[in-house]
Amino acid sequence: MSSDTADTAADSAGADEYDRSAAEAAEAADLVDPLGAARDRFVLPEGLIYLDGNSLGAMPAAVLPAMNDALSRQWAGDLIRSWNDNDWWSLPGRVGDRIGSLIGAAPGQVMCGDSTSVQLFQALVAACRMRPGRTVLLTDGDSFPTDQYIADAVGRLLDLEVVRVHPNDVGEHLDARTAAVLFSLVDYRTGELFDAAGITGAVQRAGAVMVWDLCHAAGALLVELDSIGAEFAVGCGYKYLNGGPGAPAFIYIAERLLAELELPLTGWHGHRTPFGLDQHYTPSLSVEQARIGTPPLLSMLALDAALDAFTGTSMDELRAKSLGLTDRAIHYADARLAEFGVEVVTPREHRRRGSQVSLRMPQAYEVCQALIARGVIGDFRAPDLLRLGYAPLYLRHIDVQNSMQILYDVLATGAYQDPAYAHRNPVT
């Protein structure tokens, strides 16, 4: 045997041993996982490892019967009577309060409806209007495009200068000109979690108003809006809240602001007396003013049912599980994937990490496609990130281990070089 062959054999024996003991540790962690049973609340395709709950959450089992009931009894049978008899009218507020319980908001401050983009517009215009005379709106140039596009549109509308700053540097840019600040709590690409309390405090000390985008946080990690004194927040219903494709979004407005607020989208559902059918708009005094028009009832009923999957769980448990899963993925990447030029871009400190692990690598797109072909679904974010999301309600530690082993094989064998994986789909 040549010395090269001997080295390779020794490496592979070492690798097998690493995987064996890592798999045993993952199985042991699953055995004592307090959230282990929650996986049964989801419909997950057999044999698939789903690491994209940060884009579209898996379907909770409770959604199917709820949809069946919504269609065949409520819509087909009860028809228009459902607004009263099935309490469709109060659904946006009820779902809002349920979401509120997952993001540290006492009842009466969260309204469900519309898309995140619409809610961003609502919150940002209202926030900027609270600081007349101030001329600057700060946002993160690395944040999700819709956030930046809406910030720019609000800037044009209200004649504000939009300045892009990184959340960690916001302190250097805050001054008496700053009207409002919009940041995502978790960077959608890198998974970096920002300091919600620290940033909110700094923004408020400068006399500005803070708007948080919680799309990558709600349902995955501890958010304590009331206790950090937050003002506005928005987020979507289809990621870690598992509300389904196109699920309605939500807006949080701190109760103390409700009386002084001027929301820009004044639809009739937000009127103080919607069925008074007044000619002019008078906003509801409560968070009901954040309703706009007729909500997407079926999607909202699906989201309502999906939220049952959180029953009996605490955000502390979810956060601990999420960190356990992402720790496991990061350890594996450090131990076994560095040799392929893979770099972990997600912060290693728990306090700075969301619920995803982003791996920078050449040909990340092709690697992502090769993984999907092998039953591991993550996603790709241009130009070079493989993004793996860890939804703590339904992922097991062994899923992390198995998916990383498959990733190792895809890289080690060069399987991702198959030309079929280079074909670019419209959605990556």
Ligand X SMILES: Cc1ncc(COP(=O)(O)O)c(C=O)c1O
Question: What are the residue numbers of the active site?
Answer: 144, 213, 238-239, 387
Closer CB to ligand X, 215 or 368, in the complex: 215
Shortest CB 153 distance to ligand X, Å: 13
Shortest CB 259 distance to ligand X, Å: 28
Q: Report the SS3 class of residue 389.
A: strand
Closer CB to ligand X, 232 or 421, in the complex: 232
Q: Are strands 161-164 and 379-381 parallel, antiparallel or unpaired?
A: unpaired
- Asked if 199 interacts with ligand X (CB under 6 A), we say no
- Asked if 144 interacts with ligand X (CB under 6 A), we say yes
Closer CB to ligand X, 189 or 321, in the complex: 189
From CA 357, how far away is CA 360, in angstroms rounded?
10
- Asked if 236 interacts with ligand X (CB under 6 A), we say yes
Which residues, 6+ apart, have CB-to-CB distance to 124 below 8 Å?
137, 150, 151, 154, 180, 182, 211, 232
Shortest CB 368 distance to ligand X, Å: 16
Q: Measure the CA angle with vertex 192, ends 321 and 231; round to 5°.
A: 95
Shortest CB 221 distance to ligand X, Å: 14
Contact region with ligand X (CB under 6 A), list: 87-95, 142-150, 219-227, 415-423: 142-150
Q: Specify whether the CB–CB gap between 122 and 250 falls below 8 A.
A: no
Task: Output phi, psi for 68, to 5 deg.
Answer: -60, -45
- Asked if 380 interacts with ligand X (CB under 6 A), we say no
Binding mask of the shown chain, residues 203 to 232, with x at each position contacting ligand X by CB under 6 A:
----------x-xx----------------
Among 109, 116, 139, 403, binds ligand X (CB under 6 A): 116
From CA 138, how far away is CA 161, in angstroms rounded?
8
- Asked if 184 interacts with ligand X (CB under 6 A), we say yes
List the beta strands (DSSP E) in 96-144. 110-112, 136-139
Helices (H), 132-191: 145-158
Q: Specify whether the CB–CB gap between 252 and 126 falls below 8 A.
A: no
- Asked if 148 interacts with ligand X (CB under 6 A), we say no
Q: Cis omega (within 30 of 0) on the bond before 383? A: yes
Amino acid at 179: A
Binding mask of the shown chain, residues 245 to 284, with x at each position contacting ligand X by CB under 6 A:
----x-----------------------------------
- Interface with ligand X (CB under 6 A), residue total 13
- Asked if 286 interacts with ligand X (CB under 6 A), we say no
List the beta strands (DSSP E) in 223-340. 232-235, 250-253
Residue ranges that bind ligand X, judged by CB under 6 A: 115-117, 144, 146-147, 184, 188, 213, 215-216, 236, 249
